[in-house]
Structure 1
Amino acid sequence: METLENGRRQIMLSPAAKVLVSFVQRAFETALRLPGLILLELWWRARMQGDDVLGVEWTKELMKNEQVSSFLEVSRILEFVHTRNFDESAAHILSYSVLFLSALFLLLPVLRLVSVYMHALSFALFGFAHYMSIRYVQLEQESGGEIVLDDFVKLERHGFHFLAQVMIGLTISCLLRIQSDLARASLAIFCAPIVARMCGFPVDRLMVAHNFATSGIMLAICFYLLNTGPALLLWIRRAYKQLRATLVVRGVAGGSMAIWRRLRIPSLLASAWVTLWCLRVYVEVSKRQKVIEPLEYPLIVLAAIAESTATPLSLFGLAVTVSYAAKFILQGARLGLIGATEGPQTHDAAAVVMQGGYTEGLTLVLLCAQTGVLGMKLAPRAFLLGLVLFIVMSALMQSLFELLEPHLLSLGASHHASRLRHVRALILATILFAGPFGMAYAIARFLPLDLWCVIIVSNCLLTSLQTLSTVIVYTLFLIETRAAEPWERLDDLIFYCKAGTRALEFLLALVVIIYGLYASFFGQWSYASAFVLLIHCYFNVWRRLQSGWRAFQLRRKAAENIQVLARASQEQLRKLRDVCAICFMDMVEEARVTPCSHFFHGACLRKWLFVKQSCPLCHADLSLGAKRRRPTSAADRDDDSEEGYSSEWESESEHHSSETEYTMASSDEGEAF
């Protein structure tokens, strides 16, 4: 669909097409700016090493492969560049010129950056034309003799090289948008040796024509740079003024964030790190002569990760990559659970997806900064990075569980959810149950056992245990949903299931403490391990024990309160013919009567009393009536006695409001357990 606006043709795209176009634009801009960040990373590595200003050793190791080194004779080019006798000042100039090039790649607008790439490609084509000219001269010197162009076959080599030089000149003319006819003709100056040879120029003098063409093209490049250089300097000055104005108007923080978003720094960091990691994997695989065993692949991947993470810049790149991967996994899990069009997501799911990725990336950066990964050698760095990545994967598993739990429980209580949604949720539950066991096996298989490994394994087993508990509660909800009457024992079963889960979690925490104490007394003791044990004891042992005991006390008190409430008789239920105000289902067989003469299902009222010790309708205090009454049958009492008790109960409730508030607060805390 096309429209005309202000004399310009605009194409109206669909939302999906707009998203695709935006993605392609972002990917294209990221690819254009990527060399700048890679140059900055290599420069930073060279500065950390103290020598090797241009990253000689790294590039030489990369080019050890025969296929790569043979292409354009890269090893000879590197040898020419890195064996010059530069003095110290020239080396510093060359080093900081890398920073200048990196800044150009990162800060130039896209159109200017495309122009830079066009010029770079043109210079590369000039080099290729120079190579073709030398090759032609060498072939002619090897053939020797006089040239006789009396046959089409004899014109083949000359015609091919002539056509190649013309096409190279035409391509450069299109890339640089040269308008002058004389300048266009000068681009094919490397045709001079070919024309001279076809005109009978001696073979031993043919190199003179080639040298003439090379000198001419160098002069042309020099004049071109002198003409375009001032414009580039003016643009740099203008860009500096715009950058300073942005920082002044928006402030340092706001201006930095605007530049951060405009340059898409996170995408650049992730792309640069992935590129370096892929190159390292290629080098590690290509230098191995024997067939790689399946168990060696994780070691190769881990070694490549450690080698690619050597500076703070690459560490942030790894963190952003992990953050993107975690967010992608959480988004995929959300789409798998809820679907794109099957309804709105819950608040918990939205919060998990919104915060997804940031927790994992921040955890990785903090752990690496705390352990000093960047200052270590390759072997210990690989070990610690593997440990940190396992911690991040454990956190990701926990985020997936937080996404799954409310959705699975809502499916268990839903009457209209499709079977496909149940199947997808159960598949994710199976992955979360079996995946942590695989992580625990990998930790025990590839990493030496220490306190950190035990903590990670306990977290993995904790995720599996919580997933199993959630599936059991989901099954109980399914059974209760399909029952004709509310299941009075459902809440007790759910409590027993969760209490058993908390007890096993408590035992896992105790195992970690016991191992930590053993390692501290008989192994290597450190302040970091002692601090971790102290935090673990407080949050995972003492707080859990405290909350569990409080929840048990509140539940026992609520059970006592519900037991003293009278049961409604069948005659009362038939006369009432009402629904429960909590679940809105008919009260046919069983109900409880509160002192304020309100009727509820016993199971529904029990659940309510676990949260609040008050009537759901009139909010009258029910805890005092439970203390002063004894179990009686509703069929044996008359209406007058009910009214007398109700008035007595209401008068007493006014004197104990403070106790009610304390009970309600305690119930709210116990519900968290």
Structure 2
Amino acid sequence: MLVLVDVLLRVPPLFIMDELLRIGIGLPQGDSNRYNSSSEIHDVDASITEEEVIPTISVFSDSEVQHHAQFYKVVVVTVLKYILSYLGIITALCVFLLWTKHLVIVYLYLISVGIVFVSYWTNVSTMKTVITAITVNDTASGVGTEAYTSILEDLLSLNLGRLLDPSGYGFIVIQNYALQCLLAFIFNYVHLGPRYPLVQKLLPVSFMAPSILAILPFPTSILHHAPVFAALLPLALVKFVLWCSALTMVQTVSGGYQHARNLLRNFGLSTLVETEWMRLNVPTVLRTFWLLRVMEHVASLLSNQQTHLNLLAFTTMLSIVKSVLVHGCETLTAVLGMTSIVSYICHYIGCFFQWILLTEDYDDKSIGTVSAILFYILALQTGLTGLDPEKRFVRLCRNFCLLFTALLHFVHNIVNPLLMSLSASHNPSLHRHVRALAVCSFLILFPMSLLVYLWSHHATSTWLLAVSAFSIEVIVKVVVSLMIYSLFLVDAYRSSFWEKLDDYVYYIRAFGNTVEFCFGIFLFFNGAWILIFESGGTIRAIMMCVHAYFNIWCEARAGWSVFMKRRTAVNKINSLPEASAEQLHRLDDVCAICYQEMKNAKITRCNHFFHGVCLRKWLYVQDRCPLCHDILYKVETGATKDSSSSDDATDSTMADFCHMVIWYDIDYETYLSGGQSI
């Protein structure tokens, strides 16, 4: 319940920010803006310089001067609205970030202020009704404006028919009396002012005074001013609390800033964001805000009689869903709420595939977070909030399509380690293999069906090319995983060591990485075309730079590094002598790396035998023998070293020197000049 209350208390600030963003942050929009940029340029000559302003004004007619004055007035009002709207957004954001105890204090204060104004306006409305009824009654009886039959007389005479008549002012006064009693009780309980006994006793009297005066036969002038005097005491308490809390508010904001600064300095930005994210329960707050927003919109749609009658029609339901989706992403805060819903759905999609695969990996549960980030970036990149409703719906559907293809990649990231684990560990559980292969079949068949549908129903566009690239890429990745899975299964049922297995796996993975790299380049040029010729924007340009760095440059550098390591290892292994059949027969041992029988082997300089493939994998890590830690291959050392000697030879020479200096205290120059013969 406390968590629910905390969530509900943080929703109203989001509605305030959403409303300010929906009205354009106070700026005039549409046809209501009589003084748009074109009319301004037309009405005011931009060529008038500062020196010509005063002489020019003197020749303006009165209508032109009035028109310019009205124009500057509109500009000033627009700027003030803009400033006040931004201040409102900042204030609402600060309220949203408050600790729960401070948030409760804010709401108690706002409730007390609201009670004062509700009490005042209901008293004013009641007094107007009573004064109007008295005046009409006295005018009709010809008595005058001061003599009349009061409600007190009706009470004393027990004239219940007149008192309980809903159209009579007696019933309105009694109703207002009951309402003021309730408001006085609530205000007495929630107000934050000083709770002196005298003040607590005077507050109910202050609230109910106009209703009491309306019962008694007082002049209408007193009844007219009664609501103002009745609101003085509670309003004074409210203002007193506001002035006394000014220093506390400054201290609260300053304390929050210091807390965030210390957390940022000691633990970093990620820890600060994660801590505040958990404290504020942001995903749940955003989901609640978006659902309430959508429910309000659906209620307004259902209030239409025609929509209510055709509620069961499919087209009506479809139009309601379309309207909800369009209305649910018209502002940045609404997009954030929809992002939270998308994250929630994607999280359970990931849990569903984990349930199918019988796997439980904490890292895979980040699929909801990654999907939320991707969806929000797509919304910002495509300018979703600034589009017309029809274009916004089309763009939203396209973003969902891109998001779903990205989900297929996430699912592949879940199933790929499982496939490798099942094949490499010789897992005999058949149903786990079947589940993994079923998910792989889905990851192949569904993108193919999606591509057939999209290419048959949509014209060629940059969006369609992007979806196609993502879909083909996931198909290639799944095929690569299945091929490696098959190779590992074949190797599991072989009785002898398969020396070429590592080469086959490397070639298959190199093919998949090359295809992925080519698609990355293609998507970069596709995005560049969109940026230049279709829809530019800062967000899209930034995302293209991020894509170019991480998906192109970093991938190319990593691939080239692996290729160079492999080539260097192959060259090093080729420099080692091959063991003969007689030597292997005389050794009659297994490889110390893989513990498999050796039908062929390489001999290191320290006279140890290993499989060539195993030794090559070992060289990816270090250049020393797994058994004696000696250098695996020959290096050239001496006083005059050849300029073409490798860095590895220098490192090995230095390593040997370090070993020598520990035992014999030999300096480096003596070592290079022949001291290693010791």
Does TM, normalized by the shorter one, top 0.5? yes
Q: 1:225 to 1:131 in 2, by over 3 A?
A: closer
2:111 corresponds to 1:118: yes
What is the rounded CA distance, in whole Å, between the counterparts of 1:215 and 1:410 in structure 2?
A: 84
1:333 correspondence with 2:333: no
Distance apart, 1:364 and its partner CA:
3.4
Q: For residue 28 of structure 1, what is the aligned residue in structure 2? A: 8
Match of 2:47 in 1: none
Q: Which amino acid aligns with 1:463?
A: V
Pairwise mapping of residues 192-591 of structure 1 onto structure 2 (< 5 A)?
216-240=226-250, 242-243=252-253, 261=276, 264=280, 276=293, 289=307, 291-293=313-315, 300=323, 303-305=326-328, 308-309=330-331, 314=332, 318=335, 322=339, 325-326=342-343, 329=346, 333=350, 337=354, 349=363, 356=370, 360=374, 363-364=377-378, 367-368=381-382, 377-380=388-391, 383-384=394-395, 387=398, 390-391=401-402, 393-395=404-406, 397-402=408-413, 404-414=415-425, 429=440, 432-433=443-444, 436-437=447-448, 440=451, 449-478=460-489, 480-481=491-492, 486-502=497-513, 504-505=515-516, 564-566=578-580, 571-572=585-586, 575-576=588-589, 580-583=591-594, 585=595, 587-588=596-597, 590=599
Q: State the alpha-carbon separation in 1 of the partners of residues 171 and 608 from structure 2.
A: 101
Closer, same or farther in 2 for the Cα pair 1:35/1:364, shift >3 Å?
Answer: same
8 Å Cα contact 1:480-1:487 kept in structure 2: yes
Per-residue deviation, 1:243: 3.5
| 2:48 corresponding residue in structure 1 | none
- Over 3 Å counting, the alpha-carbon distance change for 1:472 and 1:177 in structure 2 is farther
Q: Distance in 1 between matches of 2:488 and 2:572?
A: 22
Q: Paired residue for 1:59?
A: none
Q: Distance in 1 between matches of 2:615 and 2:623?
A: 10
Secondary structure at the counterpart of residue 460 of structure 2: coil
Relative to 1, partners in 2 of residues 1:357 and 1:598: Cα closer, same or farther, differing over 3 Å?
Answer: same
Unaligned runs of 5+ in 1: 1-19, 54-86, 625-649, 665-673
**Using a 3 Å threshold, how does the CA distance of structure 1 residues 301 and 36 change in structure 2: closer, same or farther?**
closer
Change beyond 3 A, Cα 1:397–1:232: farther
Displacement of 1:292 in angstroms is 4.4
The answer to whether the 8 Å contact 2:578/2:603 transfers is: no
SS of 2:108 mapped into structure 1? helix
Residue identity opposite 2:7 in structure 1: A
1:568–1:591 Cα contact (<8 Å) kept: no
Q: Is the 8 A contact 1:473 1:497 kept in 2?
A: yes
Secondary structure of the equivalent of 1:47?
coil
For residues 340 and 258 of structure 2, the distance between their equivalents in structure 1, rounded to whole angstroms, comes to 32
The partner residue of 1:598 within 608, 620, 624 is 608
Distance in 2, Cα, partners of 1:620 & 1:571: 25
Are the counterparts in 1 of residues 466 and 526 from structure 2 also a CA contact under 8 Å? no
Aligned partner of 2:480: which letter?
S
The alpha-carbon deviation at position 360 of structure 1 amounts to 2.3
Describe the superposition over 1:284-338 as per-residue Cα deviations: whole angstroms up to 9, x where unpaired.
Answer: 78778564448767754653355x13xxxx1x66357537844874587379749
Aligned partners of 1:429 and 1:467 also within 8 Å: yes
Change in 2 beyond 3 A, CA 1:434/1:27:
farther
* Residues 215 and 515 (structure 1), Cα distance of their counterparts in 2 relative to 1, 3 Å cut: closer
Q: CA deviation at 1:28?
A: 3.1
Question: Structure 1's 156 and 95: CA in aligned 2 closer, same or farther, altered over 3 A?
Answer: farther
1:612-633 C-alpha deviation (Å, 9 max, x unpaired): 77754456676x7xxxxxxxxx
Shift of 1:459: 1.8
Aligned residues: 551
SS in 2 for 1:449: coil
CA–CA separation in structure 2 for the residues paired with 1:96 and 1:150: 59
What residue in structure 2 maps to residue 67 of structure 1?
A: none
Tell me how far apart the structure 1 counterparts of residues 541 and 163 of structure 2 sit (CA, whole Å): 84
Give TM-score, length-normalised by structure 2: 0.57
Larger Rg: 2
Query: By how many angstroms is 1:30 displaced?
Result: 1.4
Contact 2:371 2:403 in 1 (8 A): no
Q: Which residue of 2 aligns with 1:184?
A: 204
Long gaps (5+) in structure 2: 34-72, 96-101, 137-148, 190-198, 652-678
Counterpart amino acid of residue 226 in structure 1: A
Which shifted more, 265-274 or 597-606? 265-274
Residue 559 of structure 1 and its aligned partner are, at CA, apart by 9.3
Partner AA of 1:232 in structure 2: L
- For residues 245-279 of structure 1, give each alpha carbon's deviation from its aligned partner in whole angstroms, at most 9, with x where no partner exists: 76689779969988994995966677656655665
Q: TM-score, normalised by structure 1?
A: 0.57
Are the counterparts in 2 of residues 270 and 321 from structure 1 also a CA contact under 8 Å?
yes
The CA deviation string for residues 518-542 of structure 1, in whole angstroms up to 9 with x for no partner, is x99xx96999999979969976998
* Maintained 8 Å contact 1:336/1:424: no
Identity of aligned residues (%): 17
Q: Give the match's secondary structure for 2:245.
A: helix
- Partner-residue secondary structure (3-state), 1:458: helix
- Could you say what secondary structure the match of 2:231 adopts? helix
* Equivalent-residue separation in structure 2 for 1:566 and 1:282 (angstroms): 86
Say whether the 8 Å CA contact 1:137–1:193 is kept in structure 2: no
- C-alpha displacement of 1:113: 2.2
Cα 1:50–1:468 change in 2 (3 A) is same
Deviation at 1:458, TM superposition (A): 0.1
Contact 1:266 1:317 in 2 (8 A): no
Q: Distance in 1 between matches of 2:326 and 2:215?
A: 56
Deviation at 1:114, TM superposition (A): 2.3
* Structure 1 segment 21-100 matched on structure 2, within 5 A: 21=2, 23-24=3-4, 26-47=6-27, 49=29
Deviation at 1:462, TM superposition (A): 0.7
Q: Over residues 412-467 of structure 1, what are the superposed CA-to-partner deviations in whole Å (9 max), with x where a residue is unaligned?
A: 43467988876776676566555655765676588653234312320232123213
Letter in 2 for 1:236: A
Task: Map 1:605-644; keep pairs closer than 5 Å.
Answer: 605=615, 607-608=617-618, 615-618=625-628
Change (3 A) 1:554 1:182: same
